[in-house]
Chains A and B, each alone.
Chain A
C-alpha cells in the first residue's frame, strides 16, 4: 500500500491546485461585469460588421496531416535507430515496410492535392458537384412532377 502513497499525494495536490485556482480567481478577479467590448472576439482591432464567410480552404489541415505522418515516422524510427544493430536484418526490413506504408499515405495526400498551392484545380471532389440538379429538390405534385426528371 505504501507504494501508492505518491499517487495519492499527487491526487490530493491536483484537487488542491484546482480548488485554489478557482478560489484565487474568485478573490482576485475584478468585480465589474464584462461589457460588450470585453466579450467581443477581439478586444482591439476592427469590429466585424458581418458574419464570417462559411467556407474556407482546408489546405492547412492537409499540411498538418503531412506533418503528422512524418512526425509519427520519426517517433518510430528513433528507437529503431538506437538499437538497430541488435535488431539485425529483421529490424531493417520491418522499418522499410513501415516507411513504405507511411510513404503510401504521403502519396495519397499528394494525389489529393495537399502540395498544390494556389487556386484549387486538381482537388478531388469528395461529394458530387453542386449543381442546380443536386441542390434543388423537386417536390412531387409540383409543376415538374411526373415529367421524368430525376429529383435527386
Chain B
C-alpha cells in the first residue's frame, strides 16, 4: 500500500522532465583533482612500455596534492567571504570544517608521497600503484569531510577504506603485510555493514539521510518511541568507532599498523583517522546535537577506556610499530574528548588535534621506515639503541616527534592536548579531563623510553669501528625475528664505510624534516593554526 505512491512518483520522474541539481564545482574541486590525478597517473603509466619511473610518479602525486591544496585554499577564501553553503542538492557542504579536512588530507598525502617514494626505491617496487591508491584513499577522506548526507559519508568511507586495504597488503615480501590487509578488510567490511545498518535505522526513524534535515526533523518532532533512532545512532557510533580505532573496536589496529608497510601505516594513522573523525564530528555534533544527552555518556565511556587502554597497553610493547598503534589509540581518546564536549570549542580542539597529529604521526613512521632497513623488518625497540650515535639527525627528528606526541611544551602536541582538555573541562567533563591528563603522563613514559634508548650507547660498543658490527649483531636478537637481515646490512655498511651511517634517502629526509618543522614552528607560534581551526566551524553550528 505504501509502495503505490512512490511508484507513481517514480513513473512521473521517468516520463516528466528531470530537474538536474545545480553543481558548484568549487565545492568538490579538490576531490576531483585528487581522483583525476590518480586516473591520469595510472593511465599514463599503462600506456608506456615500462611502468612509469618512481620519480615521475612521486612528482605527479606531489603536484596533484599541491593543486588540491591550492584549491582548498580557494575554498577557504570563498567560505570566508561568502559564507558556508551546501551544494549539489544538499549532498555536500563547503564550510570551514570541510576545508580544514581537505587541507589536512592533502598535506598528509603530500608528505606520505615523498616518504613513500624512499620506501618504494628501497624495496625496489616499481609502478604507480602505491601513489595512485594513496590519492584515491585521500579523496575518500576528503569526501567524508564534505559529506552532508549519511550516504555520502558512507561513499567516502568506502573509497577511503578499499584503497587502504590494498595499500596494507602492498609489501609482497612480508607475510604480515597480507595478514594485516586481510584482517583490516574483514573487520572493515564488517564495520561498514554495521554503519550502513545504522544509516538505515536513522533513515527509518527520521525519514531522511540528509544531515541538516535530520537536525531539522529532531528540532520539530519529539519522538515518543525513540528506540529506533537511538539504535541507529549506536550503530553509527560503532561503525565510526572501528574507523577511528576507539576501544573496544580497536582490535585490528595493532596488527594492521604492524603489518602494513611503514609509510602506509603513517598515512593510515593520519588520513583514515581524519576522515573518520571528520564525519563523526559532523554527524554527531551538528545533526544529533539535540540528542547529546543520549550520546554523550557512551562517548564518555568510549573516550575513557580508549585513553586508558591505549596508554597502558603501549607500555608493554616491544615492537615500535605496535607501540605507536596503541599510542594512536590513546590519541583517538584525546580527540574523542572534543566530541564528548559537543561544543563548538570541542570541535575546534578536535580538528586542531587531528591536524597536528597527522604531521607528527607521518613523520614518526617516516623515521621508523628509514630505521627498519631494507625489507622493512627491524621494528624491535632494541634496534633504536644507540641510534643517536649512528644517525644523529634521524634520532633527533624522532625525539622531537615523539616529544610532540607526548605533549611537551613548544610542540604542537602540547597545544593540541591543552585545547581538548580545556574543551572537556568547559563541557563539564572534568573527570574525563583528569583521566586524559593521567594517561598523557603514562604515555610520556613510553615515548621517553624510545628517546632514552636512542641516546644510550650500543651494548659492548667500544667506539671502535671494527666492533660496531658485532655490537649491532649482539643488540638486535631481542627483536624475536630470526631473519636478521637489516642487522647484517647495517653491520656490513658500518664496516665498509668506516663508521659513517647509511645516508637517509632524500624523499624521506624531506618528508620528516617538513613534519618536524611544522611540529616545532607551530608549537612555538600556534596562533595561525589555532585561528584556522577556530574559523573551521560546521555549517550547522552547535
Q: Separation in Å of the B247 CB from the closest CB of chain A? A: 32
Chain B CB within 8 A of A151 CB: yes
Q: Separation in Å of the B57 CB from the closest CB of chain A? A: 14
Contact status A140-B173, CB under 8 Å: no
Q: A135: nearest residue on chain B (CB-CB)?
A: B173
- Count of residues in A whose CB is under 8 Å from the partner chain: 33
Q: How far is the CA of A152 from the CA of B123 in the complex (A)?
A: 10
Q: How far is the CA of A108 from the CA of B47 in the complex (A)?
A: 8
Q: Separation in Å of the B10 CB from the closest CB of chain A? A: 11
Q: Separation in Å of the B11 CB from the closest CB of chain A? A: 12
Q: Separation in Å of the B522 CB from the closest CB of chain A? A: 38
Chain A CB within 8 A of B457 CB: no
B20, B39, B489: which contacts A152 (Cβ < 8 A)?
B489
Contact status B127-A104, CB under 8 Å: no
Contact status A126-B47, CB under 8 Å: no
Q: How far is the CA of A126 from the CA of B172 in the complex (A)?
A: 8
Contact status A137-B123, CB under 8 Å: no
Q: A147: nearest residue on chain B (CB-CB)?
A: B492
Bitwise interface map of A from 105 to 121 toward B, beta carbon under 8 Å scored 1, else 0 = 10110110000000000
Chain A CB within 8 A of B193 CB: no
Chain A CB within 8 A of B480 CB: no
Contact status A138-B488, CB under 8 Å: yes
Contact status A108-B485, CB under 8 Å: no
Q: How far is the CA of A137 from the CA of B492 in the complex (A)?
A: 13
Q: Separation in Å of the B118 CB from the closest CB of chain A? A: 15
Q: B128: nearest residue on chain A (CB-CB)?
A: A108
Most chain B Cβ neighbours within 10 Å, of A82, A104, A107: A104
Bitwise interface map of B from 121 to 135 toward A, beta carbon under 8 Å scored 1, else 0 = 001111100000000
Contact status B39-A104, CB under 8 Å: yes
Summed over the interface, the residue pairs from A and B with CB atoms below 8 Å come to a total of 89
B374, B473, B495: which contacts A141 (Cβ < 8 A)?
B473
Contact status B469-A151, CB under 8 Å: no
Interface segment among A8-16, A47-55, A69-77, A86-94: the answer is A86-94
Bitwise interface map of A from 125 to 152 toward B, beta carbon under 8 Å scored 1, else 0 = 1111000000001111100011111111
Determine the main DSSP class of A at the interface with B.
loop
Q: Separation in Å of the B54 CB from the closest CB of chain A? A: 14
Q: Separation in Å of the A96 CB from the closest CB of chain B? A: 13
Chain A CB within 8 A of B6 CB: no
Contact status B488-A124, CB under 8 Å: no
Chain A CB within 8 A of B222 CB: no
A140-B488 contact, Cβ under 8 Å, with A82-B14, A148-B496? yes
B residues less than 8 Å from A100 (CB atoms) = 39
A127-B173 contact, Cβ under 8 Å, with A111-B47, A139-B484, A140-B484? yes
Contact status A146-B127, CB under 8 Å: no
Q: How far is the CA of A83 from the CA of B45 in the complex (A)?
A: 36
A82, A88, A149: which contacts B20 (Cβ < 8 A)?
A88
Q: How far is the CA of A83 from the CA of B495 in the complex (A)?
A: 72
Contact status A101-B39, CB under 8 Å: yes
A residues less than 8 Å from B172 (CB atoms) = 126-127
Q: B170: nearest residue on chain A (CB-CB)?
A: A126
B residues less than 8 Å from A88 (CB atoms) = 20
Q: A111: nearest residue on chain B (CB-CB)?
A: B46
Bitwise interface map of B from 47 to 71 toward A, beta carbon under 8 Å scored 1, else 0 = 1100100000000000000000000
Q: How far is the CA of A71 from the CA of B391 in the complex (A)?
A: 53
B residues less than 8 Å from A140 (CB atoms) = 469-470, 472-473, 484, 487-488, 491
Q: Separation in Å of the A142 CB from the closest CB of chain B? A: 9
A152-B18 contact, Cβ under 8 Å, with A140-B473, A146-B469? no
B residues less than 8 Å from A138 (CB atoms) = 488
A residues less than 8 Å from B495 (CB atoms) = 146, 148
Q: How far is the CA of A108 from the CA of B492 in the complex (A)?
A: 40
Chain A CB within 8 A of B220 CB: no
Contact status A3-B2, CB under 8 Å: yes
Contact status B484-A137, CB under 8 Å: yes
Q: A137: nearest residue on chain B (CB-CB)?
A: B483
Q: How far is the CA of A137 from the CA of B377 in the complex (A)?
A: 13
8 cross-chain CB contacts under 8 A: A83-B14, A108-B46, A111-B45, A127-B172, A128-B124, A145-B491, A148-B495, A152-B373
Known contacts A111-B46, A125-B126, A151-B492, then 18 further A-B pairs from the complex at CB < 8 Å, ordered by chain A residue: A3-B2, A83-B14, A83-B18, A90-B20, A100-B39, A104-B46, A108-B45, A110-B46, A111-B48, A127-B125, A128-B173, A137-B485, A137-B488, A140-B472, A140-B488, A145-B469, A145-B491, A146-B469
Interface residues of A (CB under 8 A from B): 3, 82-83, 86-88, 90, 100-101, 104-105, 107-108, 110-111, 124-128, 137-141, 145-152
